Chains A and B, each alone.
Chain A
C-alpha cells in the first residue's frame, strides 16, 4: 500500500472511532442527565428499559426517528431544514483538533492521538464556536414563529457577548505556552503544572463563558420554557428536533473536552511515568485519564443545571459585559505583567 493511502486510512479510522465514541457519549449523557436530575430531585428516573434503564437512550433514538416530521406552513423550508444540520456539524467538527492522548506505536508506526494537529488549534475552536450561533439564529428565524424568533434573537446576543470573554480568557493560556497548538499546550501541563493552577481567573471566566455558549442553565434563556415554550426549536419535531438535542449534548461534551485540554492537563496523568509501565499501557491510561476528566466535567455541567436557577436577561448581559469581560481583560494584563517580570 502506498504511504499516502495508509495516512488517509489512519486518519479515517481516527475520525470514525472518535465520532462514534462522541455520539454514544452524547446519547448516554442524556441518560446521565435524567438520572442525575432524578437524584437531585429525590426521584428515581428512567429505570425500566434494560438494566437500570441503560437501554433508554437507544429506545429514545428509535422513537425520535419514527416520529412525524412537521414543518410550519409559513416556514422557510430550506433554512428550516439546514439549521439543525449546522448545529450538529459545528458541534462535532470541533473535536477534530482536540488531543485525546499522546502518541502510540502501532506496527512500527507512530500514531498521534489527535485527528488534526493544526498549529492554530485554539483559533480553530474559537472560529467554530462563533459559527455555532448560526444554527440557533437561523432555526429561530426560519420557523416563522414569535417564540422561536425571540429565542433565536436572545441566543445570538448571548453567544456573541460571551464569545469575547471566552477568547480573552484563552489568551492567558496562549501567553503562558507561547503557542496556539493544543498538543503543545497539553505537553506543557506536565505533572501538576495544570493551567487551572496557573490561570485560576482565566479558568473561571472560560468556564462561565462555556456555560453561556452551550446555552445551559443558568444561561438557558434561548429556550426558557416558561417564557418561550421551547425557544428556537419550538417548531421542530422528529429527527430535526433530535439533532438540536444531540447538538446541545455534543456541545457540552466538546466544551468539557476543551476545558480539560486547556486547563485540566488534557491527557496528562501526574506521576504516571515514574511507575515504569510499558509504553502501550501508559498511552491507554492517558486516554482513559482524558475520558475521566471529560466525564467529570460533563457531570459538573449537569450538576450545575439542576442546582442553579436561571438568570434574568439583564443579569445575563450585565454579567457578560460588566463582570466577565473586565475580569478576562485583567487576567490577560496580569498574566502578561507576571510573565515579563519573572520569565526566566
Chain B
C-alpha cells in the first residue's frame, strides 16, 4: 500500500511540474517535450487506478497522435536555420480572471462532491465493460462525439483539397 502512495505522489508531482514547464517554457519545442512528460504521468495515474485501457488510450491518442501532430506543426513552421521560436504572453488580465474562475469552481466541486470511495478491487479486464457501456448506456454521447469528429474530418478535407 505504501508503494502505491509513493508512486501516486511521484506521478502527481511529475504531472504538475511538467505542466508548469509547458506553460512557462520560452521555446515551443521544449513545451511540447514537457507535455510529453505530463501526458505520460497522467497515464501512470490511470494505471494506478486500475484503468489500464484509459491509460493506454491516453498514450496512443495524446502522446502518439496529437502531440506528434503538434511537433510536426512546429517543425513545419520553424525555419530550418534557427531552431528557437518563442512564446509570449498575451491578454494577461482576462486570462488571470478566467483561470482563477476555473480554479475556484474546481476547488468548490472538490470539496462539495460526495466521493464514492470503494475498497481497492482486483485488476480485471475493463475493455469489454467499457465497450458495452458505450453501446448501451452512453450511446448518445458516443454518437454525438463521432458526429463531431466526422464534421471535423469533412471540414479539413474541404480545406485541404485543391481549388479548381
Q: At the interface, yes or no: B80 with Cβ under 8 Å from chain A?
A: yes
Interface residues on B, range: 20 to 34
Given contacts A123-B57, A144-B80, A153-B75, list 4 more A-B pairs with CB under 8 A. Answer: A74-B83, A137-B68, A141-B71, A163-B64
In the complex, the answer to whether A146 meets B63 with C-beta atoms within 8 Å is: no
**Can you identify 9 A-B contacts, CB atoms within 8 angstroms?**
A76-B29, A118-B52, A119-B123, A120-B56, A123-B60, A134-B36, A137-B72, A156-B68, A179-B125
How far is it, in angstroms, between the C-alpha of A323 and the C-alpha of B47 when the chains are bound? Answer: 36
Per-position binary interface string of chain B over residues 74-89, scored 1 when its CB falls under 8 Å from any chain A CB and 0 otherwise: 0110001001000000
In the complex, the answer to whether B83 meets A156 with C-beta atoms within 8 Å is: no
How far apart are B85's CB and chain A's nearest CB, in angstroms?
A: 12
How far is it, in angstroms, between the C-alpha of A145 and the C-alpha of B75 when the chains are bound? Answer: 12
How far apart are B144's CB and chain A's nearest CB, in angstroms?
A: 22
Majority secondary structure, B binding face:
helix
Q: At the interface, yes or no: A115 with Cβ under 8 Å from chain B?
A: no
Q: At the interface, yes or no: B138 with Cβ under 8 Å from chain A?
A: no
How far is it, in angstroms, between the C-alpha of A188 and the C-alpha of B65 when the chains are bound? Answer: 32
Among B64, B65, B75, B123, contact of A152 (Cβ-Cβ < 8 Å): B75
How far is it, in angstroms, between the C-alpha of A130 and the C-alpha of B63 when the chains are bound? Answer: 8
Among B36, B56, B68, B83, contact of A124 (Cβ-Cβ < 8 Å): B56
In the complex, the answer to whether A137 meets B75 with C-beta atoms within 8 Å is: yes
In the complex, the answer to whether B127 meets A120 with C-beta atoms within 8 Å is: yes
In the complex, the answer to whether B56 meets A123 with C-beta atoms within 8 Å is: yes
How far is it, in angstroms, between the C-alpha of A144 and the C-alpha of B57 when the chains are bound? Answer: 32
List of B residues within 8 angstroms of A131 by Cβ:
59, 63-64
How far is it, in angstroms, between the C-alpha of A119 and the C-alpha of B123 when the chains are bound? Answer: 10
How far apart are B113's CB and chain A's nearest CB, in angstroms?
A: 29
Q: At the interface, yes or no: A65 with Cβ under 8 Å from chain B?
A: no
List of A residues within 8 angstroms of B72 by Cβ:
137, 153, 156-157
How far apart are A185's CB and chain B's nearest CB, in angstroms?
A: 14
Q: At the interface, yes or no: B24 with Cβ under 8 Å from chain A?
A: no
How far apart are A267's CB and chain B's nearest CB, in angstroms?
A: 23
Closest to B32 in A: A138
Closest to A140 in B: B75
For chain A, residues 192 to 220, give those with C-beta under 8 angstroms from any C-beta of chain B: none
How far apart are B51's CB and chain A's nearest CB, in angstroms?
A: 11
Given contacts A120-B127, A137-B68, A160-B65, contact A130 B80 (CB under 8 A): no
List of B residues within 8 angstroms of A179 by Cβ:
125
List of B residues within 8 angstroms of A137 by Cβ:
68, 71-72, 75
List of A residues within 8 angstroms of B9 by Cβ:
none
How far apart are A77's CB and chain B's nearest CB, in angstroms?
A: 11
Per-position binary interface string of chain A over residues 108-141, scored 1 when its CB falls under 8 Å from any chain B CB and 0 otherwise: 0000000000111001101101110110011011
In the complex, the answer to whether A119 meets B52 with C-beta atoms within 8 Å is: yes
Among B57, B75, B125, contact of A119 (Cβ-Cβ < 8 Å): B125
For chain A, residues 174 to 191, give those with C-beta under 8 angstroms from any C-beta of chain B: 178-180
Closest to B40 in A: A131
